[in-house]
Amino acid sequence: MKEDEIRNSINSVIKDEIQDMINDYVDAEELTKKSGLGFVSSEEEKELKISVSQREIDRIIKEYKKIKKSEKSNLSAIKKLGTE
């Protein structure tokens, strides 16, 4: 895979995880409103702000490449033959 494809895949996974967190948050808010428990939050607290550093994405890409390189190695091929 090219680095751009890897970066796009990682961004997609991160967005999916963020969306899951948002869905859980919204479900919890709806449950709180229905049950009448909890506190009324201000407008600022209603916004969910997510920031993922470029350095972290670069680290994930580097680790991914390392794993893929080791999968292509001769030792990895021997291990695969032994498990079949």
Q: Which amino acid is at 23?
A: N
Query: Is the separation of the CB atoms in 25 and 48 below 8 Å?
Result: yes
Range of the domain at 40: 3-83
The whole-number average pLDDT for the span 2-12 is: 84
d(C-alpha 76, C-alpha 73), whole Å: 5
d(C-alpha 69, C-alpha 83), whole Å: 20
pLDDT at position 46 is: 60
| 63-77 b/e (C-beta count within 10 Å ≥ 16 → b) | eeeeeeeeeeeeeee
pLDDT at position 31 is: 72
Instruction: Render pLDDT for 30-71 as a digit per residue (tens, 0 to 9).
Output: 777 666 555 545 554 566 667 778 888 888 888 888 888 888
- Number of structural domains found in the chain: 1
